[in-house]
C-alpha cells in the first residue's frame, strides 16, 4: 500500500528508500512532508520523550561557540545523514544516535544548511552542495568521496559562464538538490545586491561523473524564449532569479518544478521594468533535458523580496475528481494551486489592485497582483492604531523605532519609499519563508505556518540613480524584548482545505514567556510535518519549543521545551525495532538570537 501511495503522489522511491523512513529533505521529492507512520497518535502523543541526543559540534571547537542550522536530516536504511554547521556531514545510527562516519568539507567550507540528498544506486551516494559553491558526492556506506565524481568527489559550481565576469560573486548552495534517475538537479544562492553578478541558472549533473547535462536560465538569454520580457539591456549579467530554496520533482511524469526568486535588486526595479521572466515564477521543465514546459508568475515586478519559497506536489479533490496539482506560494502568503501537467489554475486567479505610490525616481510599480480563492495567510496591512502596549519595554522600544526611522503604516503590496520607512506586512522574511508546508492526503489539508511581523524599509538613492535600503533588512519589533510592535497574533499555524480553498482551522503558534497571557504566537521559520497518526509536528518558533497538533482540529496536544529553537523541520521514521521516532536539529540562531545548542535529538513513546 505504501508503494502504491508513492506512485500516486509521483514520488521517487528506490529499493533502499522506504516511506517508513525519511529519504529526502521533504520526505519525498514532491516535498509533501507527510509520513504514513501512525504509531504516535493524538491519544498517546503525551508519552513522547527524548531517547537519544547527538552533539554536532566536534570536540576541540568549543571556543568558537555554537553555530546555527536549518537542517532536516535524512533516514535511509537505518542510517541518519546530517549536514552540520561545523563543516561536516555525519552519518548516525538512527536508533541510537551513535556516529558511524563523518566527512569534513574541504577548505573550511560549510555544507548546505538545509540538507543532503540520497541516490539509491548500486553503490548509494550522499550528494550535497556547499555554501562556497561546491557539489560533493560521498559513498553512503562510509562517507568516502566518490572518486569518479568531478575531481575526487567534488565539482566546482563556480564556472566562468555562471559567474558572468564577476569571479568573486556570491554563489553557493543552501538547499538539498533533487535526484531524478541519474541526474542531480540543483539551484543556488546568489547575492541580494547589487544588480549584476552570478547567474541564477538551475543545473543538472550526472550523479556518477559530475558532468553537467543541462541548465535552465532564470534570466532568458538572447535567442531563448521570453528573453524579450526584459526591457533593453536590463538582462545583461543580471543576478538573482535563482532557486535557493530547493526545487521539487514529479518523478512519475518526469517534471521538475523550479521556483525562481526575485531579480537583484529585489527592493527596487527602476532598472528592470516589465515582466522580467522568470522572476518570481514557478517553471516546469522536463527533468531529463531541462526543456521548458510552462510557467506561472506568482508576483509581478517584485519590490518586497517576495520570493517563492514554498512549492509542494498535492492532490486536489474538486468537482468529483482528483487533480494532480502543484501548490505554490510567495512570501506574500497567497496560495495558488495549479494543474501540475498543464500549469492551468485549479481555482480562478484574479488581479487585485495594489498601491502604486512611491517617490523612487523611474520606478514603475505594477498596478495589480495575482490572487487566488484562498485568502492570504496572516496580516497584510498596518496602521498606527494597531500598535501593541503589552509591556513598558515593548511600548518604549517601538515608539523609539517609529520616531527614529519615520515609520508609517502600509497597505498590502505598498511600494517602498525614500521619505519614510514603510511597515509592510508580510515583511522581507514573509508570512512564509523557507518554512515549506505539509500535505496530509487523508484530510486533504495543506498545513502552513506563517509569521506576522513587518519589515520597515526606507530607501536611499545612490549616485548612479539606483536605490538601496537605508537601514538594511530589519524587523518591526522592540529589539530588546523581541516583541513585534503591532497587536498579536505574531505567528499562526493554518490548515487549508484544498477541496475548497478555504481555511479549515487556525491555531496560534508560539508563546511569549513572561506575559500574563503568553499565547501571542511568535515569529517562525522552518516547517511542519504531518503523519498518518493524525498529527502535525512543528518547531519553527523562537520560543524553543517542539509541538504536536491534531491534524483534524488544530488543537495543540504536546509541547516539549528544547535547549534552543528549531528552525529546520522535524522528521519521523521507523527504526529497525519497529518503533516510530520523531527527530529534530535544534540550534537557534535566527530572529536576532545567538545559536545556543548543537543537538540532534530523537523522541519516541515511553
pLDDT, tens digit, 9 for 90 and up, residues 100-146: 999 999 999 999 999 999 999 999 999 999 999 999 999 999 999 99
Helix (H) or strand (E) holding 379: none
Mean pLDDT computed over 147-152: 97
Strand 34-35 relative to strand 528-531, pairing? parallel
Cell numbers given for 522: 511568535
Residue 558 has pLDDT above 90, yes or no: yes
Distance CA 207, CA 215 (A): 15
Span 532-539, mean pLDDT? 98
Indicate if the alpha-carbon torsion angle 382, 364, 293, 150 is positive or negative.
negative
Question: Pick from 256, 326, 13, 27: which is nearest to 4 by CA?
Answer: 13
* Radius of gyration for the chain, computed over Cα atoms and rounded to the nearest angstrom: 23
User: Which pLDDT does position 373 carry in this prediction?
Assistant: 84
Q: Alpha carbon 481 to chain centroid distance?
A: 27
Matching residue, cell 520523531:
582
Residue 434, pLDDT score:
86
Helix (H) or strand (E) run with residue 99 in it: strand 99-104
In this predicted structure, which of 9-13, 25-29, 89-93 has the lowest mean pLDDT?
9-13
Between 19-28, 42-51, 217-226, 551-560, the lowest mean confidence (pLDDT) is in 19-28
What pLDDT is recorded for position 17?
60
420 contacts 359 by C-beta, under 8 angstroms: no
Q: Which 8-state DSSP code applies to residue 220? A: P
Q: Do residues 541 and 570 touch, judged by C-beta distance below 8 A? A: no
Following DSSP, what letter does each residue of 532-560 receive, concatenated? TTSEEEE--BTT-EEEEEETTT--EEEEE
Provide the pLDDT confidence category of residue 335 given band limits of 50, 70 and 90.
very high
Check residue 61 and give its pLDDT: 87
Q: Judge whether 551 and 443 are in contact, CB under 8 Å.
A: yes
User: Is the N-terminal amide bond of 419 cis, ω within 30° of 0?
Assistant: no
Distance between terminal CA atoms of the chain? 28
Cell of 245: 530554496
pLDDT at 5: 40
3-state secondary structure 241-282: CCCCCCCEEECCCCEEEEECCCECCCCCCCCCCCCCCCCCEE
CA angle 471, 474, 479 (to 5 degrees): 110
How confident is the model over 83-95, as a mean pLDDT?
98
Grid cell for residue 54:
547527538
User: Over the stretch 288-330, which tens digit does the pLDDT of each residue have?
Assistant: 999 999 999 999 999 999 999 999 999 999 999 999 999 999 9
Tens digits of residue pLDDT in 75-87:
999 999 999 999 9
Look at residue 9 and tell me whether its pLDDT is greater than 90: no
Residue 16 has pLDDT above 70, yes or no: no
Indicate whether 21 pLDDT > 60. yes
Beta bridge partners of 127: 117, 137
Give the closest residue to 565 by CA, choosing from 526, 535, 604, 529: 526
Let me know: does 475 contact 451? Beta carbons within 8 Å.
Answer: no
Give the strands of the sheet with 580-588, arranged side by side: 48-55, 595-605, 580-588, 571-574
- HSE on the CB side for 222, CA within 13 Å? 5
Report the C-alpha gap between 234 and 244 in whole angstroms: 22
10, pLDDT greater than 70: no
- Cα angle value 287/445/494 (rounded, 5°): 105
> Which percentage of the chain shows pLDDT scores above 90?
93
Mean pLDDT computed over every residue of the chain: 95
Q: What's the rounded Cα separation, in Å, for the pair 488 and 509?
A: 11
Which string of DSSP letters, residue by residue, matches 102-153?
Answer: EEEPGGG--B-TT--EEE-SSS-EEEEEBTTSEEEEEETTT--B-TTTBBTT
pLDDT of 381 higher than 60: yes
Closest by Cα among 81, 182, 197 to 128: 81
pTM for the whole structure: 0.96
**Residue 598: which H helix or E strand, with range?**
strand 595-605
- 238, with CB counted inside 10 A (0-12, 13-18, 19+), is buried
Residue 11 has pLDDT above 90, yes or no: no
**Per-residue pLDDT tens digits for 302-311:** 999 999 999 9
C-beta of residue 101 within 8 angstroms of C-beta of residue 91: yes
Sign of CA dihedral 506, 507, 509, 510: positive
351, HSE (Cβ side, Cα atoms, 13 Å): 7
Q: What's the pLDDT tens digit per position in 415-440?
A: 999 999 999 999 998 899 987 899 99
Give me the pLDDT at residue 300, please.
97
pLDDT beyond 90 at 515: yes
- Its sign, for the CA torsion 578, 579, 582, 585, is negative
Each residue's pLDDT tens digit, 192-242: 999 999 999 999 999 999 999 999 999 999 999 999 999 999 999 999 999
> What value does the mean pLDDT take over residues 17-29?
89
Cβ contact 57:86 at 8 Å: yes
CA distance 175 to 195: 23
Amino acid at each position: 500500500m505504501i508503494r502504491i501511495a508513492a506512485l500516486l503522489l509521483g514520488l521517487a522511491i528506490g529499493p533502499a528508500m522506504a516511506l517508513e523512513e525519511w529519504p529526502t529533505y521533504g520526505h519525498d521529492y514532491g516535498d509533501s512532508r507527510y509520513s504514513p507512520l501512525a504509531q504516535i497518535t493524538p491519544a498517546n502523543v503525551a508519552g513522547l520523550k527524548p531517547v537519544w541526543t547527538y552533539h554536532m559540534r566536534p570536540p576541540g571547537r568549543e571556543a568558537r561557540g555554537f553555530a546555527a542550522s536549518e537542517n532536516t536530516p535524512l533516514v535511509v536504511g537505518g542510517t541518519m545523514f546530517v549536514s552540520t554547521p561545523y563543516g561536516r556531514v555525519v552519518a548516525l545510527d538512527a536508533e541510537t544516535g551513535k556516529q558511524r562516519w563523518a566527512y569534513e568539507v574541504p577548505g573550511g567550507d560549510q555544507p548546505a544548511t538545509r540538507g543532503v540528498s540520497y541516490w539509491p544506486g548500486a553503490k548509494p551516494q550522499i550528494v550535497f552542495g556547499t555554501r562556497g559553491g561546491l557539489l560533493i558526492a560521498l559513498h553512503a556506506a562510509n562517507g568516502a568521496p566518490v572518486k569518479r565524481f568531478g575531481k575526487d568527489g567534488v565539482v566546482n559550481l563556480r564556472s566562468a559562464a555562471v559567474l558572468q565576469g564577476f569571479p568573486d560573486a556570491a554563489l553557493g548552495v543552501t538547499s538539498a538538490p533533487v535526484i531524478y534517475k541519474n541526474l542531480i538537479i540543483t539551484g543556488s544562492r546568489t547575492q541580494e545586491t547589487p544588480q549584476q553578478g552570478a547567474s541564477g541558472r538551475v543545473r543538472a549533473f550526472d550523479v556518477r561523473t559530475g558532468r553537467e547535462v543541462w541548465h535552465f536560465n532564470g534570466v532568458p538569454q538572447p535567442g531563448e524564449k521570453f528573453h524579450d520580457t526584459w526591457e533593453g539591456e536590463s538582462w545583461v549579467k543580471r543576478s538573482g532569479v535563482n532557486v535557493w530554496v530547493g526545487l521539487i520533482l514529479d518523478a512519475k511524469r518526469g517534471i521538475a518544478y523550479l521556483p525562481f526568486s526575485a531579480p537583484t535588486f529585489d527592493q527596487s526595479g527602476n532598472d528592470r521594468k516589465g515582466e522580467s521572466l522568470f522572476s518570481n515564477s514557478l517553471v516546469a521543465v522536463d527533468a531529463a533535458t531541462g526543456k521548458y514546459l510552462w510557467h506561472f508568475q506568482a508576483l509581478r515586478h517584485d519590490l518586497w523580496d517576495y520570493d517563492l519559497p514554498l512549492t509542494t506536489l498535492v492532490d486536489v479533490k474538486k468537482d468529483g475528481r482528483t487533480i494532480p496539482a502543484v501548490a505554490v506560494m510567495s512570501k506574500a502568503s497567497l496560495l495558488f494551486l495549479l494543474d501540475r501537467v498543464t500549469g492551468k489554475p485549479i481555482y480562478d486567479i484574479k488581479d487585485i489592485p495594489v498601491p502604486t505610490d512611491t517617490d523612487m525616481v523611474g520606478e514603475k510599480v505594477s498596478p495589480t497582483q495575482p490572487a487566488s480563492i484562498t485568502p492570504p495567510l496572516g496580516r497584510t496591512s498596518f496602521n498606527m492604531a494597531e500598535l501593541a502596549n503589552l509591556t513598558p519595554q515593548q511600548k518604549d522600544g517601538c515608539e523609539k523605532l517609529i520616531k527614529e526611522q519615520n515609520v508609517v503604516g502600509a497597505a498590502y503590496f505598498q511600494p517602498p519609499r525614500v521619505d519614510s520607512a514603510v511597515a509592510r506586512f508580510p515583511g522581507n522574511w514573509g508570512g512564509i519563508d523557507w518554512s515549506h508546508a505539509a500535505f496530509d492526503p487523508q484530510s486533504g489539508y495543506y498545513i502552513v505556518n506563517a509569521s506576522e511581523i513587518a519589515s520597515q524599509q526606507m530607501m536611499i538613492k545612490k549616485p548612479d540613480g539606483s536605490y538601496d535600503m537605508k537601514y538594511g533588512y530589519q524587523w518591526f519589533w522592540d529589539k530588546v524584548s523581541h516583541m513585534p510592535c503591532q497587536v498579536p497574533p505574531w505567528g499562526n499555524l493554518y490548515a487549508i482545505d484544498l477541496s475548497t480553498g478555504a481555511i479549515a482551522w487556525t491555531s496560534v503558534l508560539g508563546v511569549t514567556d513572561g506575559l500574563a497571557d503568553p499565547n501571542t504566537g511568535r515569529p517562525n521559520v522552518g516547517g511542519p510535518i504531518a503523519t498518518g497518526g493524525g498529527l502535525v509536528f512543528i518547531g519553527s518558533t523562537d520560543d524553543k519549543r517542539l509541538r504536536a497538533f491534531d491534524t483534524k482540529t488544530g488543537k495543540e496536544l504536546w509541547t516539549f521545551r528544547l535547549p534552543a529553537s528549531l528552525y529546520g523541520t522535524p522528521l519521523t521514521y521507523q527504526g529497525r525495532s519497529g518503533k516510530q521516532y520523531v527527530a529534530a536539529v535544534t540550534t537557534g540562531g535566527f530572529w536576532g538570537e545567538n545559536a545556543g545548542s548543537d543537538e540532534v535529538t530523537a523522541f519516541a513513546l515511553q
